[in-house]
Structure 1
C-alpha cells in the first residue's frame, strides 16, 4: 500500500492535505475539499489526489514504517501500532492483505467503470432529455392555449362588431322616424306660438274697434290635428351569464400528468427558481484588465479565442484568452455596440464622425470604407451575420428607431421597425444587436428596458422585460449555438439573464460569487468561451461555456 511521500498541510487548516485543486493550485483536506466544491465560484474546479510514493510511512507514527497488517481491523500497522491499539489482534504479512485490498479495489474500479458510471450517465442523459421534452411540451400547450384564446377572442370580437352594427342600424332608423315627428310638431308649435303672441299683443294694445277690425280669431290649428306621440318600441338586450365551465370547454382540456401530482409544490418552487437550480457548468478561465481601455463595455469575439474589447470612449484592444494585448485601435465612435466581428475574422465598426460603416483588416493593418449611413439617421449598433454575412445596423433619430439589414456591399435588404400585426414601434434605442442560429434578430433596447426579438422574416416574435417587480436595464447580448439568449442586466449589477429561443426565462447565469460586477458586454467565441466585459478590478473575464450540457437542457 502506497502512502503520501511527505506531509503536506491543507491550505485552509492545519490538517494533512489529501488532494490538490488543478484549477487554483490549493491543497485541501477532506473537509475543506467538500467546502471548496460547495462554493458557487469554485464548485466546478477539478481536484485530484496528491502524489503518492512507495515508502510505507505510518500516518500515526511517522518515524516508523508499516511492517504487517492487522487482520481484525483490515489496516496496515507498524510496531508501535501493535502495542498501542491492536493488542491481542491477529496479524498477517502485509503483502497478502495488500494484494487482497488491491484486488478488491480493482474489482470496484471495474464495476464503476463498466457498469455503474455508464448506467448513471445514461440515466442522467435520460433525465435531461425528459426535462427538455417537458419544457417543449409545456411551451407547445401554452402556445395552443393562446391560439385558442385568440380564436375565441376573434369570434367574440366578430359577434361584438355584428351586434354593434345592428344597434347602430336600429338607432339610425329610430332616430330618423323620431326626428321626422319632431320636425312636424315643431312646425305646429311655431305656428301656434306665433298666433298666441299676435293675439296677446293686439288684446293689450288695440282699441276695441281696432281689435274687431284686425284680430283674426280663427284658430290656425284644431286640437285634433295635433298628433299624439306614437308608442315607441325600443330594442332590448337580454344578457346571459356564461358559466366558467362552458368557457373552459371552449378551450379544451388539459389532461394532468400523474407524475406532476406526486411532487408537492412549495411556494418557492416557481419556474424561475426551478430552472435556476439546474446544473449548468460555467467555469472561470481567467480574469484580467487590459491597460488600453477603462472597462469592458462591448466585446466582439474573433476566431482562435481572441476578442476586441472596447470602452465607451472609443478605445479598443485585441486580446487573447491569456490576457495578452495583441493590437489596439481607436475610432471616433463613442457608444455601446458599435463594432462586431465577421465570418472572415475582420472587424466592422460604425464611424459616427463620417457616418459610414468601415472594415478593419487586422492582418493587413488597414481600414476599408464600405458604405454610408442615411443622413437623417444615426447608427448606434451593428452586427455581422455568421449565417450569410448580412450586416444589421441599429439606427435612431429624434422620433423613432429601426434595425436595417444590408448586404455586405451596402445594398439595403430589409427594414425592421414596426410590429406588422399591431403597427406599434418595436424599438426606441437598440444599442446592442445579435443574431441567433436560426436567423432571429435580438436587440437590447435600453430605453424600452426590454429585449425585442423578431424572426428571420422580420416578424415580431417576443419582448422580454425581465423578472416581475424588478427593473431591467439590458446591455450586451449574444446567443449560443442552440439559440439561447444571454443578456447583461446592468440594473442588478451582478447577473446575466438566460432565455430560451422563444423568450422564456431559464435562469440567471453567473452571480456575484463568480466575481460579476455590473456586466456590460458579452460574447461567445468559436471555442465556446464566454467573454464578459464589466466594471471592476478584472473587467474582462472569460468562462468556459458548456454547450454540450446546453443542448441537452434547452434544445
Structure 2
C-alpha cells in the first residue's frame, strides 16, 4: 500500500488547508484522520466512529501524521450520494458504498475495498489450494486404478491360460475315454455279428432239414394203412425230435452304458492334477478333539479378515464392504467403522483398543482409532503392496509386502506404530531359503515369525527365527497330511494355526516340528476357512468364504 507523509519536514512551516469532516460535513475542529477508511473526522465524529463495532479497531491519527493511500485508477463513485467516492464494499448488498451510506448498512457485512480485496484474494487462494489438493487425489486415485487394472489384466490373462490348459487336459482325457468305450463297443459288435452269422447259417441248415422231415412225414402218413406202419413212423419222428434245438437258447443281450446323474467333482479334480506329498506311518493324520460352533452371519460373502478385541467384540471385514463391522459374540451388529476406501484384507489388534490393517491392492498400512471412527496412515510402502500385518509382543507392527516392479519382489518390514521402519527382510539376506511371495504372517512371543508364502505351485508356511541377528528358515509343505494350500495364519504360545480354504481344513503347526496335525476337518460342510485369529483366552476364531464364523475351543 503506497502512502505519502504530509508532514515531511518541519511541521511548523506547513500550512494545513481547511478540511471537511466526512460525517457532519463541518470544517470546524477537523484535525483527525482514519488510516483504514482514509476519511477526515472532527473530534465528536471520531468518537462515534470508534464506537462502531466494525470500525472501533481503526487507527485514527492527527491529520499531520496521516498516510494517504494512492488512489486507485478505477475509482467508484457512490450511486446514492453524488460526488462522493465509494471507498467501501457491502458484501450483503454486493455493491459499493461511501462513508455516508455506512449508517444505513451498519447491520450488513461491509468493509473497506482494500480489506475486502485482501480477504477475498486470500479466500480465493485457499479455494484454489483446496481444488489443487482434490486434483492430486484424483491423480493418485487414477494411478491406483491403472495399477489395479494392470494387475487384474495380468491375473485374468494367467487365469485364461490356466483354464485353456486345464480344459485341453480334460478334453484329452474325455476323448481317450470316448475312444476306449467306442473300441469296446466295436469289439462287442464284431463278436455279436460273427456269432449271429454262425447261428444264422446253422439255423438255416436245421430249418431246411426240418422242412424236409415234415414233407417226408406227410407223405409217409398218407401211406400208413395199418397199426405197424403208424408205430414205425411215430418211432422215427421221436428219434429225430432231439436233433433240433430251440433258437431262443442262442440269443445274447446287448451291454448297457451307465451314465452318472451328476458330475463327479473328485474325478474332474483328478484330471486337473494335484500335488501329493508322501506320508509315512510315523506321521499319521491326527484329528484334535475340539468344540466348534458354527455362527452364521447375515451374509454369504467372504469374510476377508477378523480381529477380536479385549472386551470380546469382533471386528469383521466382509468382501465388498468399504468399512469394518463391529459385532458381539452373538453376531449382533454394534456399529460400523469409518470409510476405509478399500476392502480390508488383514488386520491385527494394537494395544487392546486400536486396529492396524492393510487394504486390497494398496501400499499403505492404516490404523483405526477412536473405536473405529477415525483412520490414519501409519506408513506408505510404495512401490510395495502391503499384504499381511500383525503386531508382536513388543507392540511392533510387522508387514509383508510384495512388488510387481523390477525392485526386490518382496520385503518384510518391522516398524513402530508411527511408521518408523526398524528393520526389513528382503531377498539376499542371510537366510537358508528365500521367500517368493509373502502373503500373511504372524509372530510369537519368542520372536519367531510364521509366514504364508504363495510361491507358484508351492504354497507353504515358512518359519523365520532370529538367533544372534541371523535368520534361519525352514518350510512346512504339509508333510504327513497330504496336499495343502495355506491361506490364513495365526498363533499362540503353543502352536501356529493355518487355514486351507481349498481343502476345507484347519491345521496345527507346532513351533518346533515341521509335521502338522489336522485341527478341524469339515470337508462335507464346504465352509472354506479363510482368515484366522486367536484371542487372549486361547479361543480360535475363523472367518469363512460363505459368511460363517467358527468359534473353536480346544
TM-score by shorter chain over 0.5: no
TM-score (normalised: structure 2): 0.44
- What is the TM-score of this pair, normalised by structure 1? 0.44
